[in-house]
Structure 1
Amino acid sequence: MSTFYRGLTPGSVDADRGGAVHYGTLSLPAKLLLLAWNGERGKFTGGPDLHLVVRAGALAELAQRGVIVETDGIVTPVTGARTGDTVLDALVELIEESRPRKWRGWMTHRSGNTLNEVRDQLTAHGYLRLERRRVLGVFPVRHWELERAGYAEALQAEAGTVLRGPQSITEVSESEAALVMCAATGKLRPFVTGKDRRRYKDRLTELTDRGGGASLDVTRQMRALRKALASAITAAEAARSSSGGGGD
């Protein structure tokens, strides 16, 4: 079984720098953001729906860890359950405080918040560097540069092996499977292309089920989550197309 690079030492906590990175590894949403790094262009690309992909990763990890479950189609938090990761726990709190929603609803509801929180956390832990700029010398914007290119490149290489083989599905961890499922379904650039999605369609189905591990309930949740993400991406593309913004 391959192991993604460790970000911090196991159990390390630094509340003043964005909170703990649980179990010494980056969370799924954090890894998905790093998969959006385009080394050739020297910047993050990811596509216009990066916020949806990152939110899907957060939901997938919460489901895998048993912090949220599906009850009659509704995403339901387990009472009092937390992960120790500030980004993931912020989403749990949002789910607790909001009206009931299905997976599709949670793909989009305040999904930009999760992306911003992941950026802030990675910046606090030294993976990203924040630069503040002004457009036309007036409008303030925030821009992020990657500080740990080697980490992102290694992550992309290992995730590529999970998607394209020759690694056996049985050798893929549940976390790796969910990572690649979210990235591919969300059309995350530059990690995956349209050709990849067509060529590895069957493998992505296998990875989706692998994301549930031995639990039939979690496997069903991974399937529902993938379907919801695909639906959200399609809707976003249709909205851009109708407004002249283009799609995939």
Structure 2
Amino acid sequence: MPATPVIDPPPTPRDGGAEEHDMALTLPQRLYLLSYDLDRNRLDPVSAACRDHLLSAAALVELVLGGWVRDQGGRAVRTGVGAPGDSFLVEVLAGVSTDRPRPWVNAVMSQMTRAEGTVRGQLAAGGAVTVGRGRVLGLFPTRTVAPGRPEELRRLRERIRGAVLSGRDPQAVPIEDAALAVIAVEGDVWTLLAPKERRRHRKALRALRDRFDAEFPRLRRAICMAVAHSRSA
């Protein structure tokens, strides 16, 4: 049995537009919760293959916003400014060098096969999800994940969906919300936005992507490359 993960201190809120109730969660933790389908009581199966990459991408967004990572000539490099208080962010940060800038896609894929388990463990330790274990036919291990606070998840989901569906000026959307929406779309997290909704709101998505690209150069391209790699594996 893996050791019970330590509950990390919450990150400092950076954007006044985000709801206080989920600001104690890191961006990777919020993205994991957004992958849960409250109607079908399951995690989104479409994005399952690339979930590790998407969670790492969300961590990189948080590291950039926190001043720990920056873009240098189209590559990721550490700024050398301390370290975050969250253990998963520290793991992702460890994959970025201070003196040898790395392609963003390398940083996105640095936690392949580990990110989901780490983030899920953090959420379970904090009561944001419950994890049940069992066996099929007494042989094959199974894991069941359920949100511990479904109404908070529902509010978070509607707020991030609103970044695309509300018709708001993309510049008025809190950058963390915009980033979560873009990462979810690039990773085909259908629990957040179904394909039909994405087609219907192409213009809003294009504007959010443009804002994401301005804030996090080359990161979206790296996400798309990592997703394509996971689909072909």
TM-score by length of 2: 0.82
| Counterpart Cα distance in 2 of 1:29 and 1:151 | 16
Structure 2: which 5+ runs fail to align? 13-22
1 CA distance for matches of 2:83 and 2:201?
35
Match of 2:20 in 1: none
CA RMSD for the aligned pairs? Answer: 2.5
Deviation of the 1:101 alpha carbon: 2.9
Which of the pair has the greater relative contact order for Cα pairs under 8 Å at 6+ separation? Answer: 2
From the superposition, tell whether residues 141 and 96 of structure 1 become closer, same or farther in structure 2 (CA, over 3 Å): farther
1:123 maps to which residue? 124
SS of the equivalent of 1:95 reads coil
2:9 maps to 1:20: yes
Q: Does structure 2 retain, via aligned residues, the 8 Å contact 1:104–1:231?
A: yes
Match for residue 226 of structure 1?
A: 220
Equivalent runs, 1:80-229 vs 2, <5 Å: 80-96=81-97, 101-211=102-212, 219=214, 222-229=216-223
Tell me the CA shift for residue 209 of structure 1: 4.0
The reply on whether 1:44 has 2:43 as its aligned counterpart is yes
> Any conservation in 2 of the 1:129–1:144 contact (CA below 8 Å)?
yes
Aligned to 2:73: 72
* Alpha-carbon distance, 1:223 to partner: 4.1
SS of residue paired to 1:111: coil
Matched residues, number: 218
Which residue of structure 2 lines up, in the alignment, with residue 30 of structure 1?
29
Say which SS state the counterpart of residue 193 (structure 2) adopts: coil
Question: Contact 2:167–2:204 at 8 Å: present in 1 too?
Answer: no
Q: Tell me, what secondary structure is at the counterpart of 2:135?
A: strand
The one-letter code sitting in structure 2 at the alignment partner of 1:20 is: P
- Work out whether residues 20 and 86 of structure 1, in 8 Å CA contact, stay in contact via their aligned partners in 2: no
Are the aligned partners of 2:34 and 2:192 in contact in 1 as well (CA < 8 Å)? yes
Which 5+ residue runs of structure 1 have no aligned equivalent? 1-14, 213-218, 241-248
Residue 176 of structure 1 deviates from its aligned partner by 1.0
TM-score normalised according to structure 1 size: 0.78
